[in-house]
Structure 1
Amino acid sequence: MTANPRPRLPTVLVVDDEVRSQEALRRTLDEDFEVFTAANADEAQRIMESEWVQIIVCDQRMPGMSGVEFLRRVRSQWPDTLRIILSGYTDAEDIIAGVNEAGIYQYLLKPWQPEQLLLTLQTAARVHRLQQENQRLSLELRTAEPVLARRVDSKQERARREFALDGLIRSPQSPLNAVCDLVERIAPFDLSVLISGESGTGKEMLARAIHYRSRRAERAFVVEHCGALPDQLLEAELFGYKRGAFTGAYEDRHGRFQQADGGTIFLDEIGDTSPVFQVKLLRVLQEGEFRPLGATRSQSVDVRVVAATHHDLEAEVRAGTFREDLYYRLATVTLRVPPLRERAMDIPLLAGSLLDAGQKLLGKSVAGFSTEALACLAAYPWPGNVRELQNEILRMLALADTPRLGADLLAPRILRTPAVNQREDHLLELIPLAGGLKERMEALEARVLKETLIRHRWNKSRAAGELGLSRVGLRGKLVRYGLERG
């Protein structure tokens, strides 16, 4: 196998015999990953032999070799590659057997959801990075144990600093301050915490901050995304299993709860679990014990539980879709992470921090943002929250050819701020409520003129051409609306 230099973005190989499925996966992933595609196992094998691949996303049903068969081969030849299987096949026992035989990291049912798939792969990339770091540390342990001990200590300190509340980017007026103050007060105590908030608001980061400010900070912080697996797979992941518990269970496996013993377990998207599974989870929280699949005895565990959801669980309890007793076990303390649209005052600071990280990631330096660009970033509602802001800044940085990131680099949806979730009446939101029809239409015309000029970097000839105006006509409108720029 030829060695290639490590790419700056994590690499994903998509193996699927359907071209439309390949393209859908590529569109979902290509902003965050370098994506390779293959139509069958043989083509994927050739890519693996020439490219450095971190994650494989493989369809189960393909002509010739099935997904599990191919991933079993990958496991023997490239054991460090994380393997994810996609399928509409729902027989849990066969799924678990395939997962274990091929060492599959995650199993996703079709039809997959773009946000769920992207979140799963982002987590997988972090896991792969941590695995590589652990391997390097293990190698150093064999050659220089005292040096390694110091490095492990410094790694723990880095984790403390990274997830300290002082490291959460926010302004003195931020609504996030109240959340952080509450975390400061409850983190030292072994109380269950339920964190609610939209996707991309940083719920997992807040959970880590709770862990690293608790008496459990020296022990494990274990994450499980509960919405990504069917019940039996989730049970196997959380509680583990004994050898022979099902076909393909060739050895005992510790579950997430056992891995987190003495530390903290973070159950993300707990609201997506079924009522049947909620009963099994409730027993762990009530009794402090669980029974692995195939075991005859229960095991005790000492774990602090932090859960997160984007659902309104109180409403689901009232509707009868989420167990009331489990809710109150999880929600000893509740935290709500405000979405980014409620934190406009934080965006300049947050954008600066994300830009610093992006420059290190891409190896490209700029002086910062233009005033226009920051104003547009602060005005946009960011339905994808911090994750969307991070992606937009990386995109701007990649496209930049000037010392500062200007507003012309922004995606059109951000330039056309304020956006209103694609509603049919969104034009009304662009027009001020005060004034008559003439004043309102002039305000809309001024907004269109400014957005067009920003996109064309204030090149009046190009802007006039796009708008179907002469340069003289455009200049007259700019003077009229006070949009002339020196």
Structure 2
Amino acid sequence: MTMSNAPQLLLVDDDPDLLRLLSLRLQANGYRVATVGSAEAALAQMDIALPALVITDVRLPGQDGLALFDQIRLRHATLPVILLTAHGTIPDAVEATTRGAFAYLTKPYDSTLFLDKIAQALNLSAPPLLGEDEAWRADLISRSQKVAELLAEAKLVAASDASILLRGDSGTGKELLARAIHRASPRAQAPFIAVNCGAIPEQLLESELFGHVKGAFTGAVEQRDGLFQAADGGSLFLDEIGDMPLPLQVKLLRVLQERTVRQVGANHAQAVDVRVISATHRDLEAAMAEGSFREDLYYRLNVVTLNLPPLAERREDISLLANHFLQAIATRYGKRLNGFAPDALELLSMADWPGNVRQLYNVVEQVCALSTAPLIPASLVQRALRVPALDMLRYADAKQKFERDYLIRILKLTDGNVSDAARLADRNRTEFYRLLQKNGLDPRMFRGDEDPVVIERQD
């Protein structure tokens, strides 16, 4: 990656020495950096050029970093923000993360952790930057290496007029890829027509594809062109080609061989210039073996094969797609949604996704419709995924589990600092230490600078 297309970061801090130090460190790691000393200057800078990530101190002159975060959320809902905070402002930073801030780091912070958080924020929040020559694939949002290799092949074959067969499970985005191939081809200015061969009754499919003359059958009250004529000069996408009836396969083969179409009931054929892209989730080799798909048609359609990976094989794209869908759907619903809570994103990333990208879109649409808060919680994602809840526990066991999980989470947030943890829990230090001992937890376990320590739980 050249420096010209490296991610642009915006640093906001009123300490010029710290800005200088952070800038040098980030530039040494391949980032472009802009620096400002106040929230007001940051907002002005974003009006000039929108960064990929904002890193801001909580304590600033004038508006503080939390007010800046709120302004960014209003203006640029998907822009990730990392907060830098001193111990005294930890509760405010924790509150901001529940409202959609990507993360907060306490000063002084570990430089490796700092760089890791920046990389995570950019990976989760920012779609890959596309140049003008990549606009053809703008709808195929991905950072997966598998998808990158697929798109490189697709762009190569798009330049030819060869028939293309797209293979992949239902919901993987075969029509999106077909449209992208059309946009990358010399036929881009001509029509792109899509038809699902399995969704149209057999008796209507022939007329739909090839058209009919007046009186060709009952109800044919006027002449009508078919989809081949509509796509003349452009591309015709035949989805679920494996569901096409055998008699129609013969007629399709003749069209592909002769480049002419005869309408139902017509005596003469007419020339058409159409590039055919077909798709299937069926095993066409097995269909040929059992006699339900013609071998000669298979080889005519299958000049080039492109295989779309299932979503489970491109998990690095899940959070990217989920956030993209969320913003698009929230805009359509007129709702202000900032993103997913971290545990909600984790649920999405670990799900099986048998329905692939289409299922992910449906899940995001459901949580978008039901959400009453700006940040989508894990409970809504769990409901949409139909993930079974935890096994029912006795009340006393459930209470104990909640208490221990709560203590572990709060110690992680404060890096094992008991004073900060007790303050967040609204307990005095003595009482908090008693809770830790009761649950077998030692704050040194969470500081990261010593070997883990476990103390015996007091029941």
Structure 2 distance, partners of 1:477, 1:355, is 32
C-alpha distance in structure 2 between counterparts of 1:482 and 1:357, whole Å: 34
Native 8 Å contact 1:163 1:206 kept in 2: no
Distance 1:448 1:365 in 2: 31
2:172 to 183, 191, 201: 201
- Across the aligned residues of Structure 1 and Structure 2, the Cα RMSD in angstroms comes to 2.3
Please give the alpha-carbon distance, in whole angstroms, between the structure 2 residues aligned to 1:206 and 1:330. Answer: 16
Equivalent of 1:476 in 400, 405, 427? 400
For residue 153 of structure 2, what is the aligned residue in structure 1?
Answer: 182
Secondary structure in 1 matching 2:279: strand
Counterpart of 1:222 (choices 193, 199, 219) is 193
Runs of 4+ in 1 over 6 A off after TM superposition: 160-163, 479-483
Structure 1 residue 166, shift from structure 2 partner? 4.3
The equivalent residue for 1:26 is none
| Matching residue of 1:211 | 182
Please tell me the residue identity of whatever aligns with 2:390.
Answer: V
- AA aligned to 2:244 is T
Cα 1:161–1:401 change in 2 (3 A) is farther
SS at 2:237 equivalent: strand
Quick check: 1:387 aligned with 2:358? yes
The Cα shift of 1:479 comes to 6.6
Distance 1:402 1:366 in 2: 7
CA distance in 2, matches of 1:306, 1:179: 15
In structure 2, the residue matched to 1:448 is: 390
Give the fraction of aligned pairs with identical amino acids, expressed as a percent.
48
Task: Measure how far apart 1:162 and its partner are.
Answer: 10
Aligned counterpart, 1:237: 208
Q: Which residue of 2 aligns with 1:402?
A: 373
Q: How far apart, CA to CA, are the structure 2 residues paired with 1:286 and 1:395?
A: 46
Against the structure 1 CA distance between its residues 413 and 353, is the aligned structure 2 distance closer, same or farther, given a 3 Å change threshold?
A: closer
Conservation of the 8 A alpha-carbon contact between 2:139 and 2:176: no
Aligned CA distance change for structure 1 residues 334 and 483 (closer, same or farther; 3 Å): farther
Provide closer, same or farther for how the CA distance between residues 379 and 282 of structure 1 changes in structure 2, counting only shifts above 3 A: same
Alpha-carbon offset, residue 358 of structure 1: 0.8
Question: Deviation digits for residues 385-412 of structure 1, max 9, x if unmatched?
Answer: 1121112112112222222111011244
1:351 to 322, 325, 335: 322
Instruction: Note closer, same or farther for the CA distance 1:244–1:347 as it changes in structure 2 (3 Å cut).
Output: same
**Does the 8 Å contact 1:238/1:257 carry over to 2?**
yes
- The aligned amino acid for 2:395 is L
- Check if 1:485 corresponds to 2:409: yes
Report how far residue 372 of structure 1 moved.
Answer: 0.2
* 1:106-125 deviations in Å (ceiling 9; x for gaps): xxxxxxxxxxxxxxxxxxxx
Where in structure 1 are there 5+ consecutive unaligned residues? 1-159, 418-446, 450-465
Residues 1:229 and 1:483: Cα distance change in structure 2 (over 3 Å): farther
Counterparts of residues 191-340 of structure 1 (less than 5 Å): 191-340=162-311
Match of 2:444 in 1: none
Residue 168 in structure 1 maps to residue 140 in structure 2: yes
* 1:50 equivalent in structure 2: none
Query: CA shift at 1:235, angstroms?
Result: 0.6
Tell me, in whole angstroms, the C-alpha distance in 2 between the residues paired with 1:162 and 1:393. Answer: 27
Query: How far apart, CA to CA, are the structure 1 residues paired with 2:219 and 2:400?
Result: 76
Is residue 163–residue 205 contact of structure 1 (8 Å, CA) maintained in 2? no
Return the alpha-carbon distance in structure 2 between the equivalents of residues 270 and 351 of structure 1: 30
| Cα deviations by residue, 1:111-148 (Å, 9 ceiling, x for unpaired) | xxxxxxxxxxxxxxxxxxxxxxxxxxxxxxxxxxxxxx
Match of 1:442 in 2: none
- CA distance in 1 between partners of 2:386 and 2:214 (Å): 57
Partner letter of residue 273 of structure 1?
M
- 8 Å CA contact 1:478–1:484 kept in 2: the answer is no
Pairwise CA distance, 1:216:
0.6
1:184-221 deviation per Cα after TM superposition (whole angstroms, max 9, x unaligned): 11101101001111221111111000111111111111
Amino acid paired to 2:267: T
Deviations 1:2-49 (A, max 9, x none): xxxxxxxxxxxxxxxxxxxxxxxxxxxxxxxxxxxxxxxxxxxxxxxx
- TM-score, normalisation: structure 2: 0.57
Alpha-carbon offset, residue 322 of structure 1: 0.9
TM-score (norm 1): 0.54
Between the aligned partners of 1:274 and 1:402, the Cα distance in structure 2 is 50
Shift of 1:298: 1.1
